Amino acid sequence: MSVKIAFQGELGAYGHQACVEARPGHDPLPCDSFTDAIEAVRKGDADLGMIAVENSTYGRVADVHSLLPESGLHIVDEAFVRVHVNLLGKKGARLGDITAAHGHPVILPQCSVFLRDHGITPVTCSDNAKAARTVAEGDDMTQAALASELAAEIYDLDILAHKIEDHDRNTTRFLIMSREPDYKKRGEHVMMTSFVFRVRNIPAALYKAMGGFATNGVNMTKLESYMVGGTFKATQFYAEIEGHPDDRNVQLALEELDYFTDYMHLMGVYPSAARRHER
């Protein structure tokens, strides 16, 4: 029986590329949305989920951090995918003929300079691979898609322009989710711990909660806030730190955090990816 990894998008999406690179032994399972990908793992239709969380050019992927804590899944790994944006057109199309390029709202700003310089209108699409498929199935030679080389191969499109992203280090980070946590796994580099929390309603609670990480020498690599419950009264924080909960300094920092919070949930413990440490 094959093992499967779910991702958001159609075959040829960057999530598909992430699955191929990070889990080559798994069969990719395309899903319409991040919610569907998470649900596929929860129901057992997939063994793992590949969830995009942030891009080095665009920033945070909307809504993902609010989805993860409620998913019931655990982060067991991370993957960084170098995103090369390519302009894909129908067989025989020429760059000078293209008037519109279709892509996901996250990818359009990543190649805005190229599109502007060539007078190409960006058009929003729910998925880059879907954009590639739509261009391939249509008969309009002026329409193009912004997608991966993998999408060009799958949908038999010509690459009219290679690597048109504005920044030469354009990278998307993915989290690999599982139904079960794996706290025993160790990697070549530092371990990462992800968690969400809400601070108690006392003055300077966030400042005091963060103090334990500073005094115990724990490096916090990410701290983001977002509203919960549809109101402006409840703010939840998503955090990532270097270290393992078994490490004594991490234990002390989390104990201090617990004192100033009314909710804390461990999201996952996983090895940091090699690309995180590239200069």
Identify whether the C-beta of residue 88 lies closer than 8 Å to the C-beta of residue 147: yes
| 7 carries an active-site annotation | no
Q: Is 172 a catalytic residue?
A: yes
Q: Which of 7, 57, 80, 172 is catalytic?
A: 172
Write out the chain in H/E/C secondary structure.
CCCEEEEEECCCCHHHHHHHHHCCCCEEEEECCHHHHHHHHHHCCCCEEEEEEEECCCEECCCHHHHHHHCCCEEEEEEEEECCCEEEECCCCCHHHCCEEEECCCCHHHHHHHHHHCCCEEEECCCHHHHHHHHHHCCCCCEEEEECHHHHHHHCCEEEECCCCCCCCCEEEEEEEECCCCCCCCCCCCEEEEEEEEECCCCCHHHHHHHHHHHCCCCEEEEEEEECCCCCCCEEEEEEEECCCCCHHHHHHHHHHHHCEEEEEEEEEEECCHHHHCC
Which of 34, 80, 114, 174 is catalytic? The answer is 174
Q: Which residues are catalytic?
A: 172, 174
